[in-house]
Amino acid sequence: MRLRVPAVFATLSLLAVPSPALAGAHPLRAKNGMVVSQHFAASQVGIEVLWEGGTAVDAAVATAFALAVVHPTAGNIGGGGFLLLRPAKGEPIAYDFRETAPAAAAPTMFLNEGRYDAAKHHDSHLAVGVPGTVAGLHLAWKQHGKLPWQRLLEPAIQMAEQGFLVTEELSRSLAGVLPQLAKYPASKAAYSRDGKPYEAGDLLVQKDLARTLRRIAERGPAGFYQGETARLIAKEMAARGGLITEKDLAAYSPQVRVPVRGQYRGHDVISMPPPSSGGVALIQVLNILEGDDLEAMGFRSAASVHLITEALRRAFADRAQHLGDPDHNPEMPLARLLSKDYARLLRQTIRADRAAVSSPETFEWPVESDETTHFSVVDAERNAVALTYTLEAGYGSKIVVPGAGFLLNNEMGDFNAGPGLTDDTGLIGTAPNLAAPGKRMLSSMAPTILAKDGALRMVTGSLGGRTIISTVLHTILNVVDYGMNVQEAVDAARFHHQWLPDVIRYERHGLSPDTLALLADRGHRLEPLGLLGVAAAITYDKEKDRLEGAADRRSPDSAAVGR
């Protein structure tokens, strides 16, 4: 496979730790299309699809399958996610290909004699949900693609079959996860050299994965959900206590949903609806913040950090109480949660001089891994795609399907632990997100597109579990409120609050000592961390008819590629 990357058209991430705001950081600029993803080879695969006249959806499909080869920590065919499309003409569309619980799932499936079993919930074959990625990508392509399906998979097949060079980032990642992968012979064989970690510069060949991808290329979803691949998945499940059957796989269906919509300072905000909580929470926070002048408060001032934190606190509390799979929770109060009137009521509960207190007796939620990946695509006609998908934890369940060469998710871990189990350790037993046959588990993924005056303005999203919501929020605020270009917006240091635990987590050196002291005086507990999220964003300047893209320099393999 050719990989043509003219230096003027590609930017790679080189920065390990972000500064509070990298003023003057330059985005990639292009006119006729752009792809920003977490791996430079996948971005290049996507841009070559645009070079050949493919649509943004075509490029997204090709990029997604390429990431399944070169970014195994989250790129996948054994997981699921969401694709948000804003066509240049017509209404936005949300494709939901979140995993589903198998038919034998039950609310109490993670309990042993009434006691919660974390290993069952997160680290077993029971934790695997029915994958949705292949079906979801195919449906989006069928409705909005132009190039042949096989053409879109061919780069991924070639990279799996012929191999690709392991980067320093992938080498470190594989070495770190190898002890967990080694529990499963097929996983050990796929991602190590007879138990020894791959080093940077080694060639990683995945013959079994190439054969699986070729079946998908030739037969579409039937090449995954039926026939040899389905048989291999079901065989592995039956052998090790999993629940997924060939019937579960054949019954999987992606859903087309109506995006959630909001308005923020003259911008249309379009995002993912449930079973993702990301769009609802994001719009709710923006609605709260719209009543104040963040720019006048000052970037990363104590006043602005306090206000954003309190807005996030309230949105995450509502997330825990109300949101889940809409097909199993038809009474979710989405209209109220998204309304400006409700935001005004919430804003009145925020004290400027004091942090609120989060109570573990009120709301909590299960652990959600930060190992997701997001990419953004815009084509020459200004069709825009924001796609976020995941295996849940890094490398998912760590289970490679023997003979099929791909990793399975552990998304069942995103369901609540069991009925009535809410306690101060972080377990939750509320009904909206308990496991049930065919149910989709709640997510925080937030692929988001902004428009202004009828034209595309921004495409954004991030990895990061629940921190996705705050990461996407910061990219939007940095562009809309603080006037940053998209690279500055992505580079700027971030912070996060999620109701419980009641703590502001912030990127080390991202908040000044004075700001930290003032926040502590208001009653906030603060915790520094390394990096928070990995965003992939594109903005569009209608006046100049120019795209600007930003690869997140927190992830060294990330790249923006334009044409």
pLDDT at residue 308, as a whole number = 98
**Average pLDDT in the 174-184 region?**
97
The pLDDT > 90 percentage for the chain reads: 87
**Average pLDDT in the 246-250 region?**
98
Helix (H/G/I), strand (E/B), else coil: 37: strand
The domain ranges of the chain are 1-163+205-563
d(CA 536, CA 410): 24
Sequence letter at residue 543: E
pLDDT by residue (tens digit) across 459-507? 999 998 889 999 999 999 999 999 999 999 999 999 999 988 899 999 9
Is the pTM value of this prediction over 0.85?
Answer: yes
Q: Which residues are catalytic?
A: 372
pLDDT at residue 428, as a whole number = 62
Radius of gyration of the chain (CA): 22
Q: Which of 441, 470, 447, 450 shows the shortest CA–CA distance to 529? A: 470
Sequence letter at residue 251: A
> How does strand 260-264 pair with strand 111-112?
unpaired
CB-based contact 412:388 (threshold 8 Å): no
Helix (H/G/I), strand (E/B), else coil: 551: strand
pLDDT of residue 21 exceeding 50, the answer is no
d(CA 550, CA 188): 35
pLDDT by residue (tens digit) across 314-328? 999 899 889 999 999
pLDDT by residue (tens digit) across 98-154? 999 999 999 999 999 888 999 999 999 999 999 999 999 999 999 999 999 999 999
pLDDT of residue 360 exceeding 60, the answer is no
pLDDT at residue 501, as a whole number = 85
**Average pLDDT in the 60-76 region?**
98
**Average pLDDT in the 254-259 region?**
98
What burial letters (b/e) apply to 272-303, b meaning 16+ CB within 10 Å? bbbbbbbbbbbbbbbbbbbebebeebebbbbb
The crossing angle, in degrees rounded to 10, of helices 56-70 and 149-162 is 20
pLDDT at residue 364, as a whole number = 39
The single-letter DSSP state of residue 16 is S
CB-based contact 101:439 (threshold 8 Å): yes
Count of other CB atoms within 10 angstroms of residue 130: 28
Query: For residue 35, what are the β-bridge partners?
Result: 377, 561
The crossing angle, in degrees rounded to 10, of helices 56-70 and 40-51 is 150
CB-based contact 275:443 (threshold 8 Å): yes
pLDDT at residue 280, as a whole number = 98
Q: Burial of 106 by CB count in 10 Å (0-12 exposed, 13-18 middle, 19+ buried)?
A: middle
**Average pLDDT in the 146-170 region?**
98
The crossing angle, in degrees rounded to 10, of helices 302-322 and 513-521 is 60
pLDDT of residue 20 exceeding 70, the answer is no
User: For residue 20, which phi and psi values (nearest 5 degrees)?
Assistant: -55, -40
Virtual CA dihedral for 366, 519, 490, 40, nearest 10 degrees?
Answer: -50
d(CA 81, CA 441): 11
pLDDT at residue 370, as a whole number = 60
pLDDT by residue (tens digit) across 192-222? 999 999 999 999 999 999 999 999 999 999 9
The model's confidence at residue 265, banded by pLDDT at 50, 70 and 90, is: very high
The model's confidence at residue 424, banded by pLDDT at 50, 70 and 90, is: very low
Please confirm whether the linkage preceding 254 is cis (ω < 30° from 0): no
pLDDT of residue 1 exceeding 60, the answer is no
d(CA 101, CA 252): 10
pLDDT at residue 369, as a whole number = 59
d(CA 313, CA 308): 9
pLDDT by residue (tens digit) across 521-563? 999 999 999 999 999 999 999 999 999 999 999 999 999 999 9
d(CA 192, CA 456): 44
Please confirm whether the linkage preceding 330 is cis (ω < 30° from 0): no
Helix (H/G/I), strand (E/B), else coil: 96: strand
How much is the mean pLDDT over the chain?
A: 92
pLDDT at residue 427, as a whole number = 58
d(CA 373, CA 169): 15
